[in-house]
A and B are shown apart, each in its own frame.
Chain A
Amino acid sequence: GAVVSQHPSWVICKSGTSVKIECRSLDFQATTMFWYRQFPKQSLMLMATSNEGSKATYEQGVEKDKFLINHASLTLSTLTVTSAHPEDSSFYICSARDGGAGNTIYFGEGSWLTVV
């Protein structure tokens, strides 16, 4: 079946640095990709929606200058957490919509970010 690969699975970074998380659709072209954030024991909160070749649409309350999303190709979207702070520590998960398969959405395995 279709696979969405997310990398890295785990990352620890120092406060003030930036970290990039990649989301790849391995065997389909993703017309739309979504980025979510999940705090412990809470649901997934949509951060932004990105369409290939255009700027991401951010949800209310999400700082677009802090969470940079790039969707440069139909198989890759990246989320860069800039100037990371400990409160950015969270589980980040992406999903990709396969426009050619009934618009089915597939999820990556998620990335744990810990900012120390």
Chain B
Amino acid sequence: SQQGEEDPQALSIQEGENATMNCSYKTSINNLQWYRQNSGRGLVHLILIRSNEREKHSGRLRVTLDTSKKSSSLLITASRAADTASYFCATDYGQNFVFGPGTRLSVLP
């Protein structure tokens, strides 16, 4: 299976703290993307990072990619209660686009 892994599976933090989620994958990729999903809803695209990039920022989000370790991390700074959701990494292998198991983030007010 090409599906990678994410950790932690669940993360609970206080508002204002930073949240870090990690994603690992198994084979070479074209790019890696992070998505957010609120309960019972569709996916919201957060950031795409290409295989030749190492870090990208978008607002309070920072994504890193280490192709030598086949891993990526998503950092959410100064978290808010509205950030409570499931976060998935998805790896684009060209023909396939595969999701990790996700991290359920709870930000407590």
- Bound together, the chains give a CA A41 to CA B42 distance in angstroms of 13
Docked-complex contact B42 and A107, CB < 8 angstroms: yes
B47 to chain A, nearest CB (A): 13
Smallest distance from the beta carbon of A57 to chain B beta carbons, Å? 8
Interface assignment of A79: CB less than 8 Å from any CB of chain B? no
Determine the main DSSP class of A at the interface with B: strand
Distance of A107 Cα from B90 Cα, bound (Å): 12
Instruction: Report A-chain residues with C-beta under 8 Å of the C-beta of B101.
Output: 42-43
* A41→B37 CA distance, assembly (Å): 11
Bound form: Cα–Cα A65–B16 in Å: 50
Tell me the complex Cα distance, A108–B43, Å: 8
Task: List A contacts of B33 (CB < 8 A).
Answer: 105
Contact between B100 and A49, CB atoms less than 8 A apart: no
Of B57-65, B77-85, B91-99, the one contacting chain A is B91-99
Give A38 Cβ to nearest chain B Cβ, in Å: 9
The reply to whether B96 and A49 contact each other, CB–CB distance below 8 Å, is: yes
User: Interface code A93-110, partner B: CB below 8 Å = 1, 0 otherwise?
Assistant: 101010000011111111
B92, chain A: closest CB distance, angstroms: 7
Shortest CB distance B85–A (Å): 12
B18 within 8 A of A: no
Which residues of A from 54 to 74 have beta carbons under 8 Å from B? 57
Contacts of A42 on B, CB cut-off 8 Å? Answer: 101-102
Q: Which residues of A in the span 1-58 have a Cβ within 8 Å of any Cβ on B? A: 32, 34, 36, 41-46, 49, 57
CB closest chain-A residue, reference B94: A103
Give CA–CA (A43, B23) in the complex, Å. Answer: 13
CA distance A25 to B97 in the complex (A): 17
A102 to B3, CA, bound (A): 23
With A107-B45, A109-B42, A110-B41: A46-B97 Cβ-Cβ less than 8 Å: yes
Q: List, sorted by A's number, 12 A–B pairs whose CB atoms are closer than 8 Å.
A: A43-B3, A43-B99, A43-B101, A44-B43, A44-B88, A57-B95, A93-B43, A97-B97, A104-B48, A109-B42, A110-B43, A112-B40
Residues of B within 8 A of A (CB): 3, 30, 33, 35, 40-43, 45, 48, 88, 92, 95-102, 104
